[in-house]
Amino acid sequence: MSTAVPGTAAHRAPVPARVGLVLAAVLAVGGIVTSVPQFADDPVVPVVNIVLSVLSLAAVPFAWGGAAWARVVVVVTCVLSALTGLPAFFVPGVPAEWIVAAAVGIVLSLIVAVLLFAGSRSQR
């Protein structure tokens, strides 16, 4: 049974955007999972990561449905979450595994941004 209103076209996200949204959801879940053990060191950064990840997860279904504002929310939260990993490159004593994880997270967040914005361009 379809929930679409007769006479109106359903506006689903294009394929590149859907791939970006799945990747964004995976990054958000990963952000929540990796932030929980960090509460012992400094509670500020993990709380910021969890809030950004929850906002991103909340916007994904709306973006999947084609809402442009939700795509912007997903991109902004992914990029801001990735920026919280930048200190790993500058703070001395950070383990190499964390630096690699931060680099992978930043690259994947940029890929999400490109996929979501490329999808919105192709829809026009």
- pLDDT of 43 reads 81
Count Cβ atoms below 10 Å from residue 85 Cβ, excluding itself: 21
Which has the closest alpha carbon to 64: 23, 111, 105, 6?
23
Task: Tally the domains of the chain.
Answer: 1
Summarize pLDDT for 49-100 with one digit per residue, the tens: 999 999 999 999 999 988 999 999 999 999 999 998 898 899 898 889 989 9
pLDDT band at 8 (very low <50, low <70, confident <90, very high): very low
pLDDT band at 35 (very low <50, low <70, confident <90, very high): confident
Quote the tokens at residue 49.
């990561």
Q: Is residue 9 part of a domain?
A: no
Quote the tokens at residue 23.
């990747």
Q: Is residue 59 part of a domain?
A: yes
Report the C-alpha gap between 91 and 20 in whole angstroms: 30
Which has the closest alpha carbon to 60: 2, 13, 3?
13
Domain that holds residue 81: 15-123
Q: Is residue 8 part of a domain?
A: no
pLDDT band at 120 (very low <50, low <70, confident <90, very high): low
pLDDT reading at 1 higher than 50? no
pLDDT reading at 9 higher than 70? no
Q: Is residue 4 part of a domain?
A: no
pTM of structure: 0.81
Q: How big is the CA angle at 65 (ends 63 and 67), to the nearest 5 degrees?
A: 50
Q: Is residue 1 part of a domain?
A: no
Which one-letter amino acid corresponds to residue 78? Answer: C
pLDDT reading at 36 higher than 60? yes
Mean pLDDT of the chain: 84
Quote the tokens at residue 29.
């879940």
Q: Is residue 7 part of a domain?
A: no
Q: Is residue 5 part of a domain?
A: no
Q: Is residue 107 part of a domain?
A: yes
List CB contacts of 86: < 8 A, sequence separation 6 or more: 102, 106
Which has the closest alpha carbon to 76: 123, 28, 34?
28
